[in-house]
């Protein structure tokens, strides 16, 4: 006994998609398998509608915000400049107050633009006719999780899914993994931007060293797994290899090179 076509369509839309929209069961009913296969395209999943910034543009915007935050902090911590005497009507704000206002405005812009990206993503999920591609995107975005609970990562989350996940959901795993691990959202989320070779120029100047978060996450959660046979020494060696993967510095990459540990690295050797 064969199942009725509407039931097969409902299963395809629910189990593999985002659920059935009004009239969609009838549309998919004759060929649910074809509906699924048609969505597996080399170009990946559809993008949310809207004119959104690239991660490169967002990095510049975020660095401007960081500069304003540092300026506000300096003025606040300088007693003469940081004092806030009573203001009279029409009097301009003090330098410290003006800097603080500018920082708050920049942060508000970042939050609002990020919220618009989140809304566009939700609207795409609710209205798309390619529910399987959208659900597959959510699967891989969850597999390569970068949390939006951290402000420094949250402001790159829209770009992360658009640039690192959606284009690669039906492609090669290695391309998806490289795009995800090297994206500013992931680097910020796992503090890789702060990881430098201890003996590198940046490490010696800042008295900083390795951060193993990204290396451990890649091995434990994104590739071989917790029981994959790697050791703590492998994590450390991999972290050394990843120094230089950074969002640091405006310009041509000098900041990344100053943080690199240097030398050849080998982890998990057979």
How many residues appear in the chain? 270
88 in a structural domain: no
25 in a structural domain: yes
Q: Are 103 and 68 in contact (CB under 8 A)?
A: yes
Per-residue pLDDT of the chain (270 residues; tens, 9 = 90+): 566 678 999 999 999 999 999 999 999 989 999 999 999 999 999 999 999 999 999 999 999 999 999 888 888 887 654 455 555 556 777 888 888 888 899 999 999 999 999 999 999 999 999 999 999 999 999 999 999 999 999 999 999 999 999 999 999 999 999 999 999 999 999 999 888 776 655 554 565 678 999 999 999 999 999 999 999 999 999 999 998 888 865 444 334 444 455 556 677 765
Residue 128's Cβ-side half-sphere holds a number of Cα atoms within 13 Å equal to 25
pTM of the model: 0.83
6 in a structural domain: yes
Cα separation, 137 vs 45, in Å, equals 7
Please give the tally of structural domains in the chain: 1
61 in a structural domain: no
194-246 pLDDT tens trace: 887 766 555 545 656 789 999 999 999 999 999 999 999 999 999 999 988 88
158 in a structural domain: no
23 in a structural domain: yes
CB atoms within 10 A of CB 258: 20
Q: Are 93 and 75 in contact (CB under 8 A)?
A: no
Cα separation, 205 vs 50, in Å, equals 43
5 in a structural domain: yes
27 in a structural domain: yes
Instruction: State the Cα torsion 96-101-103-105 to the nearest 10°.
Output: -170
Q: Are 22 and 2 in contact (CB under 8 A)?
A: no
**Angle, helix 95-127 to helix 131-143, in steps of 10 degrees:** 130
Domain that holds residue 1: 1-34
């Amino acid at each position: 006994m064969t199942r009725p076509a509407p039931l097969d369509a409902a299963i395809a839309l629910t189990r593999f998609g985002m659920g059935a929209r009004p009239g969609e069961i009838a549309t998919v009913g004759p060929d649910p398998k074809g509906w699924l296969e048609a969505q597996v395209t080399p170009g990946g999943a559809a993008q949310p509608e809207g004119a959104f910034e690239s991660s490169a543009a967002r990095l510049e915007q975020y660095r401007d915000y960081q500069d304003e935050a540092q300026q506000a902090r300096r003025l606040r911590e300088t007693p003469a400049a940081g004092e806030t005497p009573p203001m009279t009507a029409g009097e301009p704000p003090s330098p410290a107050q003006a800097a603080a206002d500018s920082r708050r405005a920049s942060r508000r812009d970042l939050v609002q633009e990020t919220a618009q990206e989140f809304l566009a993503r939700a609207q795409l999920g609710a209205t798309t006719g390619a529910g399987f591609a959208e659900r597959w995107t959510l699967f891989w975005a969850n597999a390569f999780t970068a949390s939006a609970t951290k402000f420094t990562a949250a402001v790159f989350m829209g770009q992360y899914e658009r640039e690192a996940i959606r284009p690669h959901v039906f492609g090669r795993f290695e391309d998806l993994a490289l795009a995800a691990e090297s994206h500013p959202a992931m680097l910020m989320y796992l503090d890789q931007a702060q990881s430098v070779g201890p003996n590198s120029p940046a490490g010696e100047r800042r008295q900083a060293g390795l951060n193993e978060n990204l290396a451990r996450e890649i091995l434990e959660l994104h590739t071989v797994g917790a029981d994959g046979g790697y050791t703590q020494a492998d994590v450390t060696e991999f972290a050394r290899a990843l120094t230089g993967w950074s969002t640091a510095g405006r310009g041509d990459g000098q900041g990344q090179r100053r943080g690199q540990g240097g030398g050849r690295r080998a982890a998990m050797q057979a």
